[in-house]
């Protein structure tokens, strides 16, 4: 039996998946070469998985990498011959880039030039495009209404025709802003991946970075480079406040130039931080989105989409219309329940930067984390109700296992003096925990003021332990949280697990601990294993502890 | 029966006309009285004479070699299929040649089938030329996927893991789900569906996988015999073990010489002695299994099949429980028993899940054997699963052994307690067999299981051992089909010149002899004598209407089941080969020949006066 690790570490599958052996001496060289035209899917400890997709190929093409170059790189590292269908796919898809170019035309329209007559014919005869891409009497030329730019581009990509958008982005009125902090190398790379050479085809994209790795700083660095009116979209009010706090702390911008647009305030300033919810608010299903105009009329030069994977569907359309300006999406996880990740990439911009979590952990840029699944039995009095309950009820019975409190007690004792988060899904369970232990709790009904106070107290070390519901899943800046005890979660949500782990990944001088307490021999086991999938694929391991 | 006997049997089966034609051309004038066995012996001696044999060989031209090569390769070959194989040849040429080869006693025709004269096999073998027969194009294509042992493992796994449905009614949904495409991305969807169905059928027919309680269960005793098979034998067993030899021979021919689809199809049909539908089915399966590829109108052999199979690499198990490797699994590989196939491509990936682990425990594997196979230390997740599945086991469908917590729960559960027959100690419950379906479903739900962990009694499979299918004959692709070496000591030009000179010097009627030399009927001086009267070929041309009529009449079938002679008709604008059916008299000079035009057999009535030349080809191709 022979080993897998050789100087040809790559295996190319017929479905365009690339499997890269981590143990090969050529691993780094190979990875650096293939990342330009493929997308990292998972990175566990032995074999990393990449995928070649149309968008990854068009990304490469837009960066000047030809099909020949891609095939040469693959050929250099592949252990087996490149499958014929994969080679043909690369040639075909790459060749489409540059055949559709979008130019300015007049006040109301853009001009789409198609250099391939067959593609032009296909576009002209496609029913889905007829209302978006208008024929002209000039061969190979079409017109697109300005407000249809994004939607038309999306529709064309879905049909397999990428558009090289050569319309210069509009910067809007200048806003002077400089970053006071220094960027780490990977953050600098992320910024450059968006801005490129500032030429046509650059200035937009999505950045995927692990929780705690400083996405906010990357956003601010973009603002510092572009020096323009900026709209920042966030998942909730806490995140809005965090952004504002960070802007004040890490840039030289005057506070008077920063506005909050949320349920509580309606300020529009040169730098405005807004929630997705307020944008999608309307009095009834038939009423318009009354706050959407903030995007349309704000004369923005840059839009930052924080936690872009949460981009609500109603915002898609507006996003489609914001094609003329610089834009960047920031996220740690790419999973959407509605499967519209591709739409995000098409409208906001393609993924320009991605880095494995373990890479940052090994370099110390995020804390290393020790994950533990603590498994406890159901109490006897629960076993019969559990056996007879519906699936949803079973999950709740298992999740709210009273014995979990004992585990919390033991863990608190083990990590005495550390900053600890206790995270859960069910409010009555969290209330019981609060009743038992007396720690402060933050839920959806906690006022924003109170919430900020508690976070501040936690940050300052005045409160060492807080209980949080799932409102705290996203965008909390808690530099010193080193332990998270998860006592329940949203079924098998991988995204939630990753986000919760992210709460303890800010760099620190000690290892962080993530405990997931589950009831063994129940449905919670299966859901828990599913939740762990994303992190395991990122290289994290869970130790199992039986109690 | 030895070859001479076979030949004599053939000679004795001929009608007198033809027999004496042959005897006459070989032996000259036949004196009366004669004794047929003596004549037969003399004919045989003629054919066994070394110089005659050499001349017979020299007399073979390229077309002769082609036709002989096919029939030597395929054995007793139906005339219709010979004609189909050589359909790109002129039918007239084919008809003449085959008739001529029969007249030369190189080919025999019995009951509509051609074969090589057994006493001239040596000559036929020397004349055999695969290049002439199949052409000399590129041999095959490289780098193509084919169904190998890894795929057989994967198909088995799809069944026993529950990913593939048991009921045929659910197959459509399974196919639509795209699972097969995802698992076998190297193949087209049609190919994967086809070989999946064929392999599933193979596994079920060999009882390597059985259906029990609505799911597929592997019989570990029997499955080994199937997993031992190499790719060629997997394919043959899946298609039809009885056709193994013929499939191998067809592939042997193909791997040396690609050929047109129609030729390969005909060759396969001849070799397999099946009908057209079955032949098409065989070709389809060969293609779906990846052994052949059809490009344009040609068929190629997948040369990758001949490459030595690379041994399986070490296994890499990631913490996401994916096990990956490349190369060929060995027959005793157990990965398919405890993991679920994800993709079977250059890199093969299996995923270990709690369900797959559960299945392995049911089959009698242990955690330590799994860890040992994977080359891993003790795995916490495996320990957890092992503990979980050890909580309850079901014996003989009614005896539950479980931990005390579960026992307490069952005894208190309103939908379970009434199905208890008896309780023993802390861990045993005897349940009602009559209500098994009810309580097992309730208990499975209560414990969050897809089904209750049973103890699979592998001894059950031994009970049916006597029924085990023994058609596991092993087939191998053979040696390369030979092309002709030299095969000729002398050229036919030299031989024929010598014969003509001899005929002239002997005072023969050259008008009679020369055509027979040209037709290669005369190959030896012993056949030349001024006193011989030759039957020759009947050929009438010109304006002699009555002679033409007479020749045509002579060719009509004399007896009910007798084959008609074929006629070659030269008409003003075309030449035809026809099988005459009857002459319809409409007047002395206006008779019409009703006939079937070969090779299609389309009926046509031809005015005899419009025929310029009629030649009787002694025997039909029917």
- pLDDT tens digits, B328-354: 999 889 999 999 999 999 999 999 998
Among B446, B461, B476, the domain-final residue is B446
Which residues does chain B have with pLDDT short of 50? 458-471, 486, 619-622
Instruction: Check A522 against B448: CB less than 8 A apart.
Output: yes
Buried b (16+ CB within 10 A) or exposed e, A322-348: bbbbbbbbbbbbbebeeeebbbbbbbb
Question: By three-state DSSP, how is residue B212 classified?
Answer: strand
Q: Per the CB < 8 Å rule, is B182 touching A15?
A: yes
Residue B320 with chain A: CB contacts under 8 Å: 42, 44, 533, 536-537
Q: Tell me, yes or no, whether B198 and B276 share the same domain.
A: yes
Which residues in chain A have their CB less than 8 angstroms from residue B186's CB? Answer: 14, 83
Q: For residue A11, list chain B residues with Cβ-Cβ distance below 8 A.
A: 326, 346-347
Chain-chain contact of B313 with A3 (C-beta, under 8 angstroms) = yes
Nearest-neighbour CA in chain B from A161: distance (Å)? 24
What one-character DSSP code corresponds to residue B132? H
> For an interface test with A, which of B141, B320, B357 has the most A Cβ atoms less than 10 Å from its Cβ?
B320
Are B11 and B47 members of one domain?
yes
Residue B86 and residue B157 share a domain: no
Together in a domain, B107 and B219: no
Contact A546 B314 (CB under 8 A): no
B440 and B421 in a single domain? The answer is: yes
Q: Is B76 on the interface with A (CB under 8 A)?
A: no
Q: Look at chain B and report how many structural domains it folds into.
A: 5
The answer to whether the CB atoms of A83 and B447 lie below 8 A apart is no
Per-residue burial over B439-472, b if 16 or more Cβ lie within 10 Å, else e, is: bbebbeebbbbebbbbebeeeebeeeeeeeeeee
Are B314 and A2 inside 8 Å of each other by CB?
A: yes
On chain B, the residues whose CB falls within 8 A of the CB of A21 are 316
How far apart (Å, rounded) are the C-alpha atoms in residues B287 and B294? 8
Owning domain of residue B601? 539-617
Do the domain assignments include residue B463? no
* A172 CA: distance to closest CA in chain B (Å): 48
Q: Are strands B539-541 and B613-617 parallel, antiparallel or unpaired?
A: antiparallel
- Interface test mutation site (partner B, options A6, A79, A382, A384, max chain B beta carbons within 10 A): A384
Q: From B384, which residue of chain A is nearest by alpha-carbon distance?
A: A544
> CA angle, A288 as apex, A286 and A293 as ends, to 5°?
170
Residues of A in contact with B185 (CB under 8 A): 13-15
Q: Which residue of A has its CA nearest to B387?
A: A521
Mutation to test the A interface, candidates B311, B347, B408, B416, most A Cβ within 10 Å: B347
Q: Which CATH number is B544's domain given?
A: 2.30.30
Question: Is B141 inside any structural domain?
Answer: no
The two tokens of residue B416 are 């379970």
Say if residue B116 is in the same domain as residue B155. Answer: no
Q: What is the CA radius of gyration of chain B?
A: 35
Same domain, yes or no: B327 and B297: no
Take residue A191 and report the two structure tokens written for it. Answer: 């910024």
**Residue of chain B whose Cα is closest to the Cα of A542:** B319
Residues A427, A431, A437, CA angle at the centre, nearest 5°?
Answer: 145
Last residue of a domain, one of B446, B468, B490: B446
Q: Do A13 and B346 touch (CB under 8 A)?
A: yes
Interchain pair A84, B381: CB under 8 A = no
Closest partner CB to A47 (pick from B324, B345, B412): B324
Is B228 within the bounds of a domain? yes
CB contact under 8 A, A4 and B391: no
Decide if A2 and B327 are in contact by the 8 Å CB cutoff: yes
Q: Are residues B187 and B274 in the same domain?
A: yes
Question: Is residue B157 reached through a cis peptide bond, with omega within 30 degrees of 0 on the bond before it?
Answer: no
Residues of chain A in contact with residue B380, where contact means CB-CB under 8 angstroms, are: 543-544
Question: What's the gap in Å between the CA of B566 and the closest CA on chain A?
Answer: 52
**ipTM of the shown complex:** 0.84
Q: Identify the pLDDT of residue A336.
A: 63
Same domain? For B68 and B46 the reply is yes
CB contact under 8 A, B185 and A14: yes
**Among partner residues A11, A522, A539, which is closest to B326 by beta-carbon distance?**
A11
Q: Classify burial at B484, counting beta carbons within 10 Å of its beta carbon; exposed 0-12, middle 13-18, buried 19 or more.
A: middle
Instruction: Quote the CA–CA distance of A102 and A146 in Å, as a whole number.
Output: 11
Choose the closest CB to A544 out of B381, B405, B412.
B381
Give the separation between CA B492 and CA B489, rounded to whole angstroms. 10
Residue B96 CB contacts under 8 Å (≥ 6 apart), including other chains: B568, B617
- B169 & B292 share domain: yes
| Residue B346 included in any domain | yes
To the nearest whole Å, the CA of A45 is away from the closest chain B CA by 6
Cβ distance of A541 and B446 shorter than 8 Å: no
Is B38 part of any domain?
A: yes
Bridge-based pairing state of the strands A109-114 and A141-145: antiparallel
Residues of A in contact with B347 (CB under 8 A): 11, 13, 19
Q: Which residues of A touch B346 (CB under 8 A)?
A: 11-14, 79-80, 83
CA max distance for chain A: 79
Tokens of B147: 């169904």
Interface probe with B: pick from A387, A526, A533, A536, most Cβ of B within 10 Å: A387
Distance from CA of A522 to the nearest CA of B (A): 7
Q: How far is CA A118 from each of CA A93, A99, A140, A152, A508, rounded to the nearest angstrom?
A: 14, 11, 10, 19, 58
Nearest by CB to A541, from B319, B346, B446: name it. Answer: B319
Query: For an interface test with B, which of A6, A13, A51, A394 has the most B Cβ atoms less than 10 Å from its Cβ?
Result: A13
User: For testing the chain A interface, which of B315, B316, B317 should be mutated: the one with the most A CBs within 10 Å?
Assistant: B316
Q: Does A11 sit within 8 Å of B381, measured CB to CB?
A: no
User: What's the CA dihedral at A58, A60, A61, A63 to 10 degrees?
Assistant: 130
Please list, in sequence order, all residues whose beta carbon lies within 8 angstroms of the beta carbon of residue A314, skipping any fewer than 6 positions away: A279, A280, A289, A292
A395 → chain B, closest CA residue:
B448
Residue B116 inside a domain? The answer is yes
Answer yes or no: are the C-beta atoms of B383 and B376 closer than 8 Å: no
Which of B364, B385, B406 corresponds to the end of one domain?
Answer: B385
Contact in structure between B429 and B407 (CB atoms under 8 Å): yes
In a domain, B566, yes or no: yes
Residue B456, in any domain of the structure: no
Q: Which long-range contacts (CB under 8 A, 24 or more apart) does A66-70 make?
A: A66/A94, A67/A91, A67/A94, A67/A95, A70/A37, A70/A94
* Residue among B316, B354, B448 whose CB faces A47 most closely: B316
Domain identity same for B119 and B224: no
Q: Are residues B358 and B379 in the same domain?
A: yes
Domains contained in chain A, CATH given:
10-96 (no CATH), 105-165 (no CATH), 185-355 (3.40.50.300), 362-546 (3.40.50.300)
pLDDT in tens, chain A (547 residues): 345 557 799 999 999 999 999 999 999 899 989 988 998 888 888 999 999 988 889 888 877 899 999 999 999 999 999 999 999 999 999 998 889 999 999 888 999 999 999 999 999 999 989 899 999 999 999 999 887 887 888 888 888 888 888 887 777 889 999 999 899 999 999 999 898 877 766 788 889 888 778 889 999 999 999 999 999 998 888 889 889 999 999 999 999 999 999 888 888 999 999 988 888 777 887 877 777 777 767 788 999 999 888 777 677 666 666 666 888 999 887 666 566 766 777 778 777 888 888 888 888 888 889 999 999 999 999 999 999 999 999 999 999 999 999 999 999 999 999 999 999 999 999 999 999 999 999 988 888 788 888 888 988 889 999 999 987 776 565 556 899 999 999 888 888 888 888 888 887 788 899 999 999 999 999 899 989 988 888 888 899 999 9
Can you give B544-562 as a three-state secondary structure string? CHHHHHHHHHHHCCCCCCC
């Amino acid at each position: 039996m022979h080993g897998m690790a050789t100087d040809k570490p790559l295996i190319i599958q017929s479905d365009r998946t690339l499997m890269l052996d981590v143990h090969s001496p050529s691993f780094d060289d190979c990875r650096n070469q293939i990342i330009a035209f493929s997308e990292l899917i998972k990175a566990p400890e032995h074999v990393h998985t990449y995928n070649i997709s149309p968008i990854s190929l068009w990304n490469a093409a837009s960066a000047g990498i030809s099909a020949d170059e891609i095939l040469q790189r693959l050929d250099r590292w592949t252990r087996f011959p490149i499958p014929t269908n994969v080679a043909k796919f690369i040639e075909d898809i790459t060749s489409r880039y540059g055949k559709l170019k979008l130019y300015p035309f007049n006040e109301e329209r853009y001009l789409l030039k198609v250099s391939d007559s067959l593609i032009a014919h296909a576009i002209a005869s496609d029913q889905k495009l007829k209302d978006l891409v208008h024929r002209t009497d000039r061969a190979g030329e079409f017109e697109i209404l300005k407000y249809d730019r994004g939607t038309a581009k999306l529709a064309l990509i879905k049909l397999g025709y990428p558009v090289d958008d050569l319309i210069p982005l509009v910067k809007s009125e200048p806003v002077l802003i400089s970053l006071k902090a220094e960027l780490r190398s990977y953050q600098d790379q992320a910024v450059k991946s968006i801005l490129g050479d500032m030429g046509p085809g650059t200035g937009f994209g999505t950045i995927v970075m692990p929780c705690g790795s400083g996405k906010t700083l990357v956003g601010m660095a973009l603002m510092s480079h572009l020096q323009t009116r900026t709209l920042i979209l966030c998942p909730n009010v806490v995140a809005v406040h965090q952004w504002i706090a960070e802007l004040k702390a890490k840039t030289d911008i005057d506070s008077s130039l920063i506005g909050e647009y949320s349920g509580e305030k309606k300020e529009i300033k040169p730098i405005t931080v807004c929630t997705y919810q307020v944008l999608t608010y309307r009095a009834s299903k038939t009423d318009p989105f009354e706050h959407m105009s903030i995007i349309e009329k704000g004369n923005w030069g840059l839009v930052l989409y924080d936690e872009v994977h949460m981009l609500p569907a109603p915002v898609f359309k507006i996003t489609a219309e914001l094609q003329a300006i610089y834009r960047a999406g920031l996220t740690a996880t790419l999973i959407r329940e509605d499967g519209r990740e591709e739409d995000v990439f098409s409208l906001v911009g393609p993924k320009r930067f991605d880095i494995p979590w373990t890479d940052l952990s090994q370099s110390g840029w995020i804390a290393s984390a020790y994950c533990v699944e603590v498994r406890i039995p159901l109490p006897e009095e629960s076993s019969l109700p559990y056996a007879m309950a519906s699936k949803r009820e079973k999950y709740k019975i298992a999740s709210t296992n009273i014995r979990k409190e004992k585990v919390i007690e033991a863990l608190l004792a083990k990590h005495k003096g550390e900053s600890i988060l206790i995270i859960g899904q069910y409010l009555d369970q969290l209330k019981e925990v609060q009743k038992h232990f007396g720690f402060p709790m933050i839920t959806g009904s906690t006022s924003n003021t109170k919430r900020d106070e508690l976070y501040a107290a936690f940050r300052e070390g005045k409160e060492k332990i807080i209980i949080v519901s799932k409102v705290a899943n996203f965008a909390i800046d808690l530099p010193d949280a080193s332990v998270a005890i998860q006592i329940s979660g949203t079924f098998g949500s991988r995204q939630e697990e990753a986000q919760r782990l992210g709460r303890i990944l800010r760099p620190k001088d000690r290892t962080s601990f993530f405990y997931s307490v589950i009831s063994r021999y129940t449905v919670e086991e299966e859901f828990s294993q599913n939740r762990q999938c994303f992190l395991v694929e990122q290289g994290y391991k869970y130790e199992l502890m039986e109690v | 029966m030895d070859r001479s006997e076979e030949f004599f049997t053939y000679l004795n089966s001929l009608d007198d006309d033809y027999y004496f034609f042959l005897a006459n051309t070989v032996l000259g004038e036949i004196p009366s009285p004669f004794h047929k066995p003596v004549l037969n012996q003399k004919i045989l001696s003629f054919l066994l004479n070394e110089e005659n044999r050499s001349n017979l060989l020299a007399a073979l031209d390229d077309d002769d070699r082609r036709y002989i090569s096919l029939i030597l390769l395929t054995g007793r070959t139906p005339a219709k299929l010979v004609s189909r194989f050589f359909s790109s040849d002129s039918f007239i040429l084919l008809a003449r040649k085959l008739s001529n080869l029969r007249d030369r006693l190189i080919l025999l025709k019995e009951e509509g089938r051609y074969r090589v004269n057994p006493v001239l096999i040596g000559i036929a073998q020397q004349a055999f030329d695969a290049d002439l027969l199949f052409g000399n194009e590129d041999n095959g294509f490289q780098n193509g996927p084919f169904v190998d042992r890894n795929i057989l493992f994967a198909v088995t796994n799809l069944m026993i893991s529950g990913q593939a449905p048991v009921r045929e009614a659910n197959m459509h949904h399974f196919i639509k789900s795209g699972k097969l495409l995802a698992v076998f991305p190297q193949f087209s969807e049609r190919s994967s569906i086809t070989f999946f169905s064929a392999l599933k059928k193979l596994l079920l027919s060999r009882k390597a996988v059985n259906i029990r309680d609505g799911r597929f269960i592997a019989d570990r005793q029997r499955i080994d015999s199937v997993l031992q098979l190499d790719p060629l034998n997997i394919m043959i067993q899946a298609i039809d073990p009885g056709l193994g030899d013929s499939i191998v021979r067809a592939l042997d021919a193909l791997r040396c010489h690609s050929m047109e689809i129609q030729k390969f199809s005909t060759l396969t049909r001849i070799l397999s002695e099946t009908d057209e539908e079955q032949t098409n089915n065989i070709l389809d399966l060969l293609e779906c299994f990846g052994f052949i590829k059809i490009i344009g109108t040609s068929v190629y052999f997948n040369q990758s099949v001949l490459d030595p199979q690379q041994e399986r690499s070490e296994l890499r198990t990631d913490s996401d429980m994916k096990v990956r490797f490349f190369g060929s699994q060995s027959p005793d590989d157990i990965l398919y028993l405890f993991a679920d196939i994800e993709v079977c491509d250059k890199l093969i990936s299996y995923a270990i899940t709690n369900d797959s682990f559960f299945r392995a425990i049911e089959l009698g594997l242990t955690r330590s054997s799994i860890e040992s196979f994977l080359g891993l230390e003790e795995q916490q997740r495996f320990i957890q699963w092992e503990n979980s599945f050890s909580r309850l086991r079901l014996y003989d469908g009614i005896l539950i052994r479980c931990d005390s917590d579960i026992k307490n729960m069952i005894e208190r559960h309103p939908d379970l307690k009434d199905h208890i027959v008896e309780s023993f100690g802390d861990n045993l419950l005897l349940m009602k067999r009559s209500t098994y379906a009810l309580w097992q479903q309730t208990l499975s739900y209560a414990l969050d299981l897809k089904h209750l962990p049973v103890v699979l009694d592998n001894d059950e499979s031994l009970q049916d051992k006597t029924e085990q299918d023994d058609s596991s004959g092993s087939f191998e692709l053979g040696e390369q089909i030979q092309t002709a070496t030299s095969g000729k000591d002398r050229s036919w030009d030299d031989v024929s010149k010598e014969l003509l000179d001899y005929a002239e010097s002997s005072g023969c009627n050259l008008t009679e002899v020369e055509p027979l030399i040209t037709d290669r009927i005369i190959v030896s001086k012993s056949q030349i004598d001024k006193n011989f009267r030759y039957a020759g070929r009947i050929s009438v041309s010109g304006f002699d209407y009555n002679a033409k009529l007479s020749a045509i009449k002579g060719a009509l079938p004399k007896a009910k089941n007798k084959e008609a002679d074929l006629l070659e008709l030269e008409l003003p604008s075309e030449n035809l080969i026809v099988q005459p059916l009857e002459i319809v008299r409409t007047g002395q000079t206006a008779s019409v020949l009703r006939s079937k035009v070969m090779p299609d057999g389309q009926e046509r009535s031809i005015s005899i006066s419009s025929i310029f030349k009629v030649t009787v080809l002694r025997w039909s191709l029917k």
